[in-house]
């Protein structure tokens, strides 16, 4: 339970930092030069964890809350691969912006 709480807090802080850094633009009138794909985080976390089924994060991806208060859980393997899933006990939805 304690590790889950730490992961939730870590993901929340990382999400906040991602939003903060993304808000600092180049100052050129607010136009977007790169389009982003929104990938729904719709894979529920399972017990025991089936990490290979979770959504793989790539370098430069950010997590965006689409609605409600979703809880996104992040897993890291020994090779540095990061994967995410949606805690089914939370409400709302989120996306990966790529």
Residues in the chain: 98
Please give the C-alpha separations between residue 30 and each of 22, 25, 33, in angstroms, as whole numbers.
12, 7, 9
For residue 14, the tally of other CB atoms under 10 A from its CB is 14
What is residue 21's predicted lDDT score, i.e. its pLDDT? 53
Closest CA to 41 of 19, 23, 65: 65
What the block records as the tokens of 28 is 């050129």
Alpha-carbon gap, residue 7 to 19, rounded angstroms: 18
What is residue 22's predicted lDDT score, i.e. its pLDDT? 53
Give, for all 98 residues of the chain, the pLDDT tens digit: 566 666 776 666 556 555 555 555 555 555 555 678 999 999 999 999 889 999 999 999 999 999 999 999 999 988 889 999 999 999 999 999 99
Model confidence pTM above 0.85: no
């Amino acid at each position: 339970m304690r590790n889950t709480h730490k992961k939730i807090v870590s993901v929340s802080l990382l999400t906040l930092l991602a939003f903060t850094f993304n808000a600092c633009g180049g100052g050129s009138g607010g136009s977007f030069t790169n389009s982003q794909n929104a990938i729904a985080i719709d894979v529920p976390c399972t017990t025991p964890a089936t990490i290979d089924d979770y959504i793989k994060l790539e370098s430069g991806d950010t997590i965006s809350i689409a609605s409600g208060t979703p809880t996104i859980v992040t897993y890291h393997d020994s090779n540095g691969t990061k994967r995410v899933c949606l805690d089914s006990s939370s409400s709302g939805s989120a996306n990966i912006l790529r």
